[in-house]
Amino acid sequence: MGAFWLSLQPEAVQGLTEMQQFADRYVTFMEVNVSYDRDDIVTSVLMGKSLLVMEGLSGAALIDAKEYPSRSVGEPPDGKVLRGSHDGFIEAVVPNMAMLRRRIRDPHLTMEGLKVGQRTHSDVALCYLDDRVDHALLDELRHKLQNIQANSLTMAQESVAEAIRPKQWYNPFPKVRYTERPDTAAACVMEGSIILMVDNSAAVMILPTTFFDFTQEANDFYFPPLVGTYLRVLRVTVFLISLLITPAWYLMVSSPGRLPSWLDFLSSPEPAALSLLSQLLVVEFLIDVLKLASLNTPDTLSNSFSMLGALILGDFAVQAGWLGPEVLVYMAFVSVAGFAQPSYELGYAFALMKRTAGTKAHPGAFDEERRDSYHGSS
C-alpha cells in the first residue's frame, strides 16, 4: 500500500486540501481516521498506529494496521465445563469484543471504547444492550472511567475496579464479578448487565452483581434445569456449611452442658498445646500459606510439596501435641469445600470476617487460664 501511495502522480491529489479527502479516495484500510490534534497523533503512534501525512494536506491519517503478539484462544483454567464452548477471553480487547459480538448479533449491542491512564492510555471497552441496560448506572460508570486519575493500569482490570468502586479498603467483599468465559459474559449482557473489558487482561468485569451471582457456574446452564438447580443448591449448601461448621463446633465445645446427649462426642476433643481457637486460626493460616506456596512450586516438586505439607500439618503436628485431630478434620473439610464455589474473593472475604469475629467475640480464648481450663475439661 505504501508503494501505491508513493507512485501517485501530483495530478492525482490536485484539488485536495484535506487529508480526509485523500483517505476517502486512496486509503483502503478499514480502520483509519484523520486527526488534527498533535497530542492525539503522538498517542496514536505510540499505540502502534501508522501515520500518513502529505505535503499540502491538513491533518494526518492514522491507520490501525498493528497486530500485537497474543496467545491463541483456549479454554480458561477457571470455569471449565463438561459441555458447551471451550473458548475463553485473551489479553487483547479487540478479539474479546469479536467473541462477544459473535454470540450476540443484535443491533442494540453497543461497545464503547475509552482510553484510561495518563501515560499508558490503556484501551477499555463498555459492552451492553442499550435497550436493557440501566442507563443511570451506565452514565455513572462512564463518568468514573473518564475521570480516572491514574498514570497507568499496571494491574489491568483490578486497577480499574479499585478506581470505580467506593474507597472502602476495610470491606473485603467483592464489588464486581469476573469471568474469562465469553458465553457467561454474553448471558449477563442479555440480562442487562454491563461488561467492562480492559486491554491486557483475559478477565472481564460484570456490573452490577449480587451475592447469588457469585454462586453460579456455567455448568449450571449446560445441564437440564433439575440437575443445574441441584448443583447450585448443593454449592450454596456446602458453602454455608463450610462457613458455619467451625464456629458451631467451637461453641459446642465451649458450652458442653448445652449439648444434647447424642452430640456428647463433640464436646471432648483431645487436648493439645494450643487452645482450641488458637488451633483453628493457626490451621487456617497454614492452609493459606500452603495455597500461596503451591502457586510458586515448580511442577516437578509438586508431589514432594504435597507429601511434605500433609506430613507436617497432619501426622507430625498431632503427634507433637500441637494440634488436635478433630481440628484437622474440620479444617480439611472447610478447605476442600472452599473450592466448591467459583469466587475466590468471596471465599476469602467470609474467611476474614469469620476470623475477625472469632477473635473479637472470644478475646480470652488465647489466655493461659482459658487453655488450662480447656485441658481440664478434656
Of 78, 76, 82, 74, residue with least CA distance to 220: 82
- Identify the three-state secondary structure at position 361: helix
Residue 46 pLDDT exceeds 90? no
Residue 369 pLDDT exceeds 60? no
Residue 318 pLDDT exceeds 90? no
Cell output for 262: 447424642
Examine residue 77 and state whether it is found in any structural domain, yes or no. no
Confidence of residue 191 (pLDDT cuts 50, 70, 90): very high
∠ CA 211-347-240 to the nearest 5 degrees?
70
Is 321 in the same domain as 252?
Answer: yes
Q: Which of 209, 244, 271 is the last residue of a domain?
A: 209
Is 123 in the same domain as 172?
Answer: yes
Q: What is the mean pLDDT of residues 47-57?
A: 81
- pLDDT at site 368: 43
- pLDDT at site 161: 79
Of 281, 266, 247, 277, residue with least CA distance to 373: 277
Contacts of 214 (CB under 8 A, 6+ apart): 174, 177, 341, 342, 343, 346
- pLDDT at site 146: 84
Q: What is the mean pLDDT of residues 201-207?
A: 90
Residue 373 pLDDT exceeds 50? no
- pLDDT at site 375: 45
Return the C-alpha torsion angle 341, 200, 62, 37, nearest 10. 90
Is 178 in the same domain as 268?
Answer: no
Is 153 in the same domain as 104?
Answer: yes
Is 115 in the same domain as 158?
Answer: yes
- 3-state secondary structure string across 112-157: EEEEECCCCCEEEEEEEECCCCCHHHHHHHHHHHHCCCCCCCCCCH
∠ CA 272-277-279 to the nearest 5 degrees?
45
- Residue-averaged pLDDT of the chain: 79
Is 230 in the same domain as 284?
Answer: yes
Per-residue model confidence as pLDDT tens digits over 86-141: 889 998 888 899 999 999 998 899 998 888 877 777 888 999 999 999 999 999 99
Examine residue 85 and state whether it is found in any structural domain, yes or no. no
- pLDDT at site 152: 67
Is 354 in the same domain as 242?
Answer: yes
Examine residue 83 and state whether it is found in any structural domain, yes or no. no
Contacts of 284 (CB under 8 A, 6+ apart): 331, 334, 351, 355
Identify the top-confidence range among 44-58, 251-265, 295-309. 44-58
Is 198 in the same domain as 116?
Answer: yes
- pLDDT at site 195: 94
Confidence of residue 355 (pLDDT cuts 50, 70, 90): confident
- pLDDT at site 378: 45
Query: Could you identify the residue written with the cell 484539488?
Result: 15
Residue 30 pLDDT exceeds 70? no
Domain that holds residue 101: 93-209
126 vs 373, which has greater pLDDT? 126
Q: Which of 176, 209, 242 is the last residue of a domain?
A: 209
Examine residue 284 and state whether it is found in any structural domain, yes or no. yes
Examine residue 16 and state whether it is found in any structural domain, yes or no. yes
Is 232 in the same domain as 352?
Answer: yes
Is 151 in the same domain as 265?
Answer: no
- pLDDT at site 100: 93
Q: What is the mean pLDDT of residues 346-369?
A: 68
Is 230 in the same domain as 199?
Answer: no
Examine residue 72 and state whether it is found in any structural domain, yes or no. no
Cell output for 240: 454455608
Examine residue 80 and state whether it is found in any structural domain, yes or no. no
Is 199 in the same domain as 255?
Answer: no
Confidence of residue 15 (pLDDT cuts 50, 70, 90): confident
Q: CA-to-CA distance for 364 and 213, rounded, in angstroms?
A: 38
Q: Which of 12, 43, 63 is the last residue of a domain?
A: 63
> What is the number of domains present in the chain?
3
1 vs 77, which has greater pLDDT? 77
Q: What is the mean pLDDT of residues 230-255?
A: 84
Residue 323 pLDDT exceeds 90? no
Examine residue 58 and state whether it is found in any structural domain, yes or no. yes
Residue 310 pLDDT exceeds 80? no
Residue 365 pLDDT exceeds 80? no
